[in-house]
Structure 1
């Protein structure tokens, strides 16, 4: 966290919401559990230890010695008095608390405000795409565009879609109305560009789709669900990843190692193939969560980890490996920025 300047001219200060406090001994208290900011406070009187343990949003001034308050402030564990009361719906309170702890300014509400104004397009609504949309909705994203012309299959029911045979996009729209009714699901043909586009495809993402998004200057994240693993990234487009490898860079690198790759890729993206089994439940959960995390990192103003890189998530352990790729000298993306 780092110091936040929570102590301002003697104004009342409190512990940041969400911090756990535990007694380590008669005169010692631990504030926080996460090792990124947990602090052990020693040399307290019984009354001072009790005050920290029973904080509950009360002012700490006057109850703790200045050196203790200084240490808590330097660790970023204090916040000043709120200028106004802001409330999040209960379902989003975990986002406010967690991001309030990891942000330097302690303002988790600002994260939700930014997400609420964002639009994310999710194309490809297998179990991975459904998980992406569901996590984004649960994380406070305000508008979703869900795109998939295919029908719900029996295997999609486990991912949360109902009514086998109905269009996947319609089924997910109905499900989102139950899961997160505050989220607006907008039409796929809306004219305004989304803030981020996610493309989930079987075996390989069609380079033409990625090229169209790049031409529209839309930040995008390609996801390929293969036979028993999935590829996530690289995150490119717009101002994201200027000077970093894009999906075409990766295809050019693969073609250099395997001259037959372009022919294989063309067959993988062909739409005239018979249906194949979707991802396992574990793979869908892990990959969907990773994709949502990358999208949220961008919306929150951070740098996604897949800029210039690609997650490889294999079955059965589903432990992600992040591979880094250099820009290919023959790719047109080298002229950007």
Structure 2
């Protein structure tokens, strides 16, 4: 192990014996008291030294035996320490690609804020390379979203759509202006390749007859260009995903409203069928309206504010990456919406419906999200007061996760 203080968190001394790690309230932590000798030793935890060398350095500076090991254990438990050589074989292979690693260092630093264990951030980053994501829709949202996921290290990002690129499909970070007139899928494929820091990993097939297209997707994102399909997603289109147990996420722009969600975990959270049935129960005219919207001729150019579409793509990418990294995004069982011009994001719950065949209602595990989407203030979590002192042979911390620092 080569201990390293997580570089994502800026360090500052509040006084002679209290150090603050991080600036923003979401991840900032205050430790104290920290004696002078221990504070002077912290810069040596930079990932260039293993534990044996750190113990020698500690003895030279007068720290007692066992102090380094206790310090490393305490800082690791607080989520402040990483391992510059950890993460397993996948992480080692990623570190061997210096140019790729340099592209992904900001993402690795961000992962270190949520992956607490030493070596866990780079392990999660390396695991993204084994993920396969399919995006259905190559419009202003879909291609920007695909580029974001590829740029964040997702191994394979496939974009599916029909037709050819129109001038109004062009977006910064998505389809370029010189792709107008080309097949949407081909143009999107080039955009994804340009955004990716590395080539997709080679797949080892179980047999020669196994086709690449038959390999399962880690996640499918439905980002249609038609606003009707965004506002009222068709439950039948997702039936194969439900039957196959494939997690999927809805995303797009309907008129002047951006929508992210629901994130569907088949059998666990509400799906498009649950959403449709719930709407029909609350509004008896809903099926009639949907039938008219679907049967009518759509406008040749639909409303899709560029800033709103980019925001939707970014939020969707964040929710997708949270899932791929092992967390449950807040769009599971909910739809996040924001409308121009204020872009005030709020959540609407998508309850599992007992009449839906997805089976989510039977488990009763859906999360209850307030109708108004109001957030809850984070309370500061106080930890027991302990001491980071060279006079004791155990380096202990006194920390507070603060809502405001």
- 1:95-244 aligned at under 5 Å gives the runs 95-106=107-118, 107-159=120-172, 160-162=174-176, 163-180=179-196, 182-184=198-200, 190-201=213-224, 202-204=227-229, 205-236=233-264, 240=265, 242-244=267-269
Number of aligned residues: 321
* Aligned partner of residue 24 in structure 1, secondary structure: strand
CA contact (8 A) 2:141 2:223 kept: yes
CA contact (8 A) 1:95 1:108 kept: no
Corresponding residue of 1:38: 29
Corresponding residue of 2:75: 72
* 1:111 CA drift (Å): 1.0
CA distance in 2, matches of 1:209, 1:320: 27
CA distance in 2, matches of 1:286, 1:317: 12
> Using a 3 Å threshold, how does the CA distance of structure 1 residues 131 and 165 change in structure 2: closer, same or farther?
same
Aligned-residue RMSD, C-alpha = 3.1
CA contact (8 A) 2:130 2:201 kept: no
- Give ranges in structure 1 of 5+ residues lacking alignment: 1-10
> Using a 3 Å threshold, how does the CA distance of structure 1 residues 293 and 34 change in structure 2: closer, same or farther?
same
**TM-score of the aligned structures, taking structure 1 as reference length:** 0.82
* Aligned partner of residue 101 in structure 1, secondary structure: coil
* 1:119 CA drift (Å): 0.8
* Aligned partner of residue 178 in structure 1, secondary structure: helix
Corresponding residue of 1:325: 350
Aligned residue among 16, 20, 35 for 2:10: 20
CA contact (8 A) 1:145 1:185 kept: no
> Using a 3 Å threshold, how does the CA distance of structure 1 residues 140 and 157 change in structure 2: closer, same or farther?
same
1:2-23 CA-to-partner distances (Å, cap 9, x unmatched) read xxxxxxxxx8744234332224
CA distance in 1, matches of 2:300, 2:159: 20
CA contact (8 A) 1:233 1:307 kept: yes
* 1:122 CA drift (Å): 0.4
CA distance in 2, matches of 1:37, 1:329: 42
CA contact (8 A) 2:150 2:196 kept: yes
CA contact (8 A) 1:141 1:183 kept: no
1:155-178 CA-to-partner distances (Å, cap 9, x unmatched) read 222343132121222111122222
* 1:321 CA drift (Å): 0.9
> Using a 3 Å threshold, how does the CA distance of structure 1 residues 181 and 75 change in structure 2: closer, same or farther?
closer
**1:294 paired to 2:319:** yes
Of 63-72 and 33-42, more deviation after overlay is shown by 63-72
Of 120-129 and 314-323, more deviation after overlay is shown by 314-323
Corresponding residue of 1:277: 302
CA distance in 1, matches of 2:162, 2:296: 12
Corresponding residue of 1:4: none
1:84-140 CA-to-partner distances (Å, cap 9, x unmatched) read 883152111122222123213232121122211111110111111112101111111
> Using a 3 Å threshold, how does the CA distance of structure 1 residues 129 and 278 change in structure 2: closer, same or farther?
farther
> Using a 3 Å threshold, how does the CA distance of structure 1 residues 55 and 24 change in structure 2: closer, same or farther?
farther
**TM-score of the aligned structures, taking structure 2 as reference length:** 0.70
CA contact (8 A) 1:298 1:304 kept: yes
- Give ranges in structure 2 of 5+ residues lacking alignment: 203-211, 364-405
- 1:238-277 aligned at under 5 Å gives the runs 240=265, 242-270=267-295, 272-277=297-302
* Aligned partner of residue 89 in structure 1, secondary structure: helix
* 1:256 CA drift (Å): 1.6
CA contact (8 A) 1:132 1:288 kept: yes
Aligned residue among 85, 97, 120 for 1:82: 85
